[in-house]
């Protein structure tokens, strides 16, 4: 029994005996990294971080393009016993300023092209160390790490110690840092390794970003714990992915990736003949996509459900003996995960009835960073976590998500909080108020749409509002369309009826 509960130790213990085998291959076969490379590079970066003599629990905030070196940086942060804080590459100054101000990282790593503005924000917030890393192995992080020893003893951590903080809006309000421990992440990774029957010879196509649970934890931990090779895409490209399917066995994607794969005639049964498992999650997979994929590829997509605060919660079965994969459902609560559905009074409902989904288990996070009152609000008195998702469990145990009680839009697998966008819109000249909604979109699943009301005498226009938002917030949050209306529909209590707006605009993106 290893007494060091550092997640990195568990991942490294799973490395294969042959350290010169390929661990990660660039999708275009332009670079190959062995397991020894992973070990040595993470040791060097961890030694660099250790040389900074940071207090335990220090955060390392990272906003860089996807690269194998960026994954190594994540592993090195674990190895050094520090806390990893990934940031979406689309975030702009106001967003970065908020995260850095809230998390107070000791180290920030950013793309060289952003060093000017990000370092200004970081130094102002008291961060002492700002390094750069680009997607071609350039930047000060690797330059400095190159001078370090390639031997390092992983920092000793307890299971409860923090490994990562992921910012998410939870059910309400501004983005909050979900604190995940080494034990949270390891327990989920081990559960998925067994439930998804990872096996010798599995090869993963890694085509998701590495600043979210899906690409960073579910995909990477899965491959690493199984000593599986990853075929590494710095960006999703449907044609290029299909070209590599014959060399792989496992693929993970958000529904948009499946929609885009289906749009390619090259997606055929023959192209998928070597594949063992296609997994979807992060957003609802339409039954049409599930059916069309089965028809074209001969594979039944395994849909699963999770959250930043909890990692994975439910999954359709992998092995036939565990049951069939049912489209439109997210499968069973994973082994070790407690899941119940409750009514508004917090009482568990009967099977088949709809209510709020609550969960419990070793995967559930330690709370929101420096927000004990928010943390308390989102747990029941008997310590079940309220997901904000609305669903039902049928008599066989299959969970179906039917909606969300939180006002959240999921566009192409990215979460957008209407209140945040409304806040920016309401500050724009000429705008009196606004309502932001999600409507069906053929590519992104849901698309962000805004309805604004003009101030008296003002005539705000859609395109300039969209342009102004693009200069302030991450592009994926910017409404694809903005409408100017005389007023917003309200109920008797004065609350904006977003369902009325969603109904009005539901066919906006129909083909």
User: Would you state the torsion angle of the CA atoms of residues 150, 193, 23, 274, taken in this order, to the nearest 10 degrees?
Assistant: 180
For ligand MCA, which is the closer residue by CB, 105 or 306?
306
Rule CB under 6 A: is residue 170 a binding residue for ligand MCA? no
Strands 431-441 and 176-181: unpaired
Cα(8)–Cα(11) distance, integer angstroms: 5
Rule CB under 6 A: is residue 284 a binding residue for ligand MCA? no
Rule CB under 6 A: is residue 51 a binding residue for ligand MCA? no
Q: Smallest distance, Å, CB 161 to ligand AMP?
A: 22
Cα angle 454, 459, 461 (rounded to 5 degrees) comes to 95
Picked from ligand AMP, ligand MCA, none, the partner binding residue 401 (CB below 5 to 8 A depending on kind) is ligand AMP
In DSSP notation, 79-95 reads HTT-EEEE--TT--HHH
For ligand MCA, which is the closer residue by CB, 39 or 446?
446
Picked from ligand AMP, ligand MCA, none, the partner binding residue 189 (CB below 5 to 8 A depending on kind) is none
Rule CB under 6 A: is residue 258 a binding residue for ligand MCA? no
CB-based contacts of 509, cutoff 8 Å, min separation 6: 439, 440, 441, 442, 447, 480
Picked from ligand MCA, ligand AMP, none, the partner binding residue 361 (CB below 5 to 8 A depending on kind) is none
Q: How many residues does the chain have?
A: 511
Query: Which residue number has the CB closest to ligand AMP?
Result: 308
Of 9, 103, 6, 90, the C-alpha closest to 60 is 103
Rule CB under 6 A: is residue 411 a binding residue for ligand MCA? yes
Burial 200-219 (b: 16+ CB within 10 A, else e): eebbbbbbbbbbbbbbbbbb
- Residues 90 to 119: which contact ligand MCA by CB under 6 A? none
For ligand MCA, which is the closer residue by CB, 170 or 209?
209
Binding residues (CB under 6 A) for ligand AMP: these are 168, 213, 281-284, 303, 305-308, 330, 387-389, 401, 404, 410, 415
- Residues 301 to 320: which contact ligand MCA by CB under 6 A? 306-308
For ligand AMP, which is the closer residue by CB, 238 or 409?
409
Rule CB under 6 A: is residue 475 a binding residue for ligand MCA? yes
Burial 444-477 (b: 16+ CB within 10 A, else e): bbbbbbbbbbbeeeeebeeeebeebbeeebbebb
For ligand AMP, which is the closer residue by CB, 173 or 489?
173
Rule CB under 6 A: is residue 176 a binding residue for ligand MCA? no
Rule CB under 6 A: is residue 234 a binding residue for ligand MCA? no
Picked from ligand AMP, ligand MCA, none, the partner binding residue 284 (CB below 5 to 8 A depending on kind) is ligand AMP
Residue 442 φ then ψ, to 5°:
-65, -30
- Residues 237 to 256: which contact ligand MCA by CB under 6 A? 254, 256
Q: Smallest distance, Å, CB 36 to ligand MCA?
A: 29
For ligand MCA, which is the closer residue by CB, 66 or 79?
66
Rule CB under 6 A: is residue 282 a binding residue for ligand MCA? yes
Under a CB-based contact definition with an 8 Å cutoff, are residues 159 and 5 in contact? Answer: yes
Q: Smallest distance, Å, CB 312 to ligand MCA?
A: 7
Cα(72)–Cα(250) distance, integer angstroms: 21
For ligand AMP, which is the closer residue by CB, 15 or 476?
476
CB-based contacts of 362, cutoff 8 Å, min separation 6: 183, 184, 187, 188, 336
Q: Helices marked H in 59-198 — which ranges?
A: 68-79, 93-103, 115-124, 140-145, 182-195
For ligand MCA, which is the closer residue by CB, 235 or 495?
235
Rg over alpha carbons for the chain, rounded to the nearest Å, is 23
For ligand MCA, which is the closer residue by CB, 313 or 501?
313
Q: Smallest distance, Å, CB 212 to ligand MCA?
A: 4
Catalog residues that contact ligand MCA under the rule CB under 6 A. Answer: 208-209, 212-215, 235-236, 254, 256, 281-282, 306-308, 411-414, 444, 475-476
């Amino acid at each position: 029994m290893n007494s060091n509960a550092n997640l990195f130790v568990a991942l490294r213990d799973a490395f294969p005996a042959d350290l010169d085998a390929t661990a990660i291959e660039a999708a275009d076969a332009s670079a190959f990294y062995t397991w020894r490379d992973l070990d040595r590079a993470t040791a060097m970066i961890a030694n660099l971080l250790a040389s900074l003599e940071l207090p335990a629990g220090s955060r390392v905030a990272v906003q860089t393009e996807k690269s194998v070196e960026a994954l190594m940086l994540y592993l090195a942060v674990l190895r050094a016993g520090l806390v990893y804080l990934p940031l979406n590459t689309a975030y702009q100054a106001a967003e970065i300023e908020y995260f850095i101000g809230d998390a107070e990282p000791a180290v920030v790593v950013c793309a060289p092209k952003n060093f000017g503005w990000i370092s200004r924000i970081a130094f102002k917030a008291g961060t002492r160390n700002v390094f750069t890393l680009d997607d071609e192995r350039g930047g000060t992080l690797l330059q400095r790490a190159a001078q370090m020893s390639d031997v390092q003893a992983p920092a000793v951590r307890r299971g409860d110690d923090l490994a990562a903080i992921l910012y998410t809006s939870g059910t309400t309000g501004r983005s909050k840092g979900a604190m995940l421990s080494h034990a949270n992440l390891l327990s989920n990774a081990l559960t998925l390794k067994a439930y998804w029957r990872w096996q010798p010879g599995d090869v993963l196509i890694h085509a998701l970003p590495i600043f979210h649970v899906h690409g960073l934890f579910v995909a990477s931990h899965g491959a690493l714990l199984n000593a599986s090779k990853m075929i590494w895409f710095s960006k999703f490209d449907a044609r290029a992915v299909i070209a590599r399917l014959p060399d792989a066995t496992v693929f993970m994607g958000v529904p948009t990736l499946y929609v885009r794969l289906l749009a390619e005639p090259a997606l055929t049964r023959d192209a998928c003949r070597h594949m063992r498992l296609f997994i979807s999650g992060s957003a609802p997979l339409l039954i049409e996509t599930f059916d069309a994929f089965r028809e074209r590829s001969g594979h039944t997509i395994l849909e699963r459900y999770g959250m930043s605060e909890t990692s994975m919660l439910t999954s359709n079965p992998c092995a036939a003996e565990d049951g069939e994969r049912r489209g439109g459902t997210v499968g069973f609560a994973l082994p070790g995960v407690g899941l119940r559905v409750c009514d508004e009074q917090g009482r568990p409902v009967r099977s088949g009835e709809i209510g709020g989904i609550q969960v419990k288990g070793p995967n559930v996070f330690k709370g929101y960073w420096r927000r004990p009152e928010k943390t308390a609000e989102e747990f029941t008195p008997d310590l079940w976590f309220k997901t904000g998702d609305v669903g039902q469990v049928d008599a066989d145990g299959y969970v179906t998500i039917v909606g969300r009680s939180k006002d959240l839009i999921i566009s192409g697998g990215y979460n957008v909080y209407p209140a945040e966008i409304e806040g920016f819109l309401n500050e724009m000249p000429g705008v009196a108020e606004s309502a932001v909604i999600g409507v069906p979109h053929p590519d992104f699943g849901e698309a962000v749409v805004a309805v604004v009301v003009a101030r008296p005498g003002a005539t705000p226009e859609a395109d300039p509002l969209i342009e102004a938002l693009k200069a302030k917030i991450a592009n994926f949050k910017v409404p694809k369309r903005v409408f100017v209306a005389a007023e917003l529909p309200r109920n008797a209590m004065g609350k904006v009826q977003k369902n009325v707006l969603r109904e009005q605009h539901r066919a906006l993106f129909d083909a």
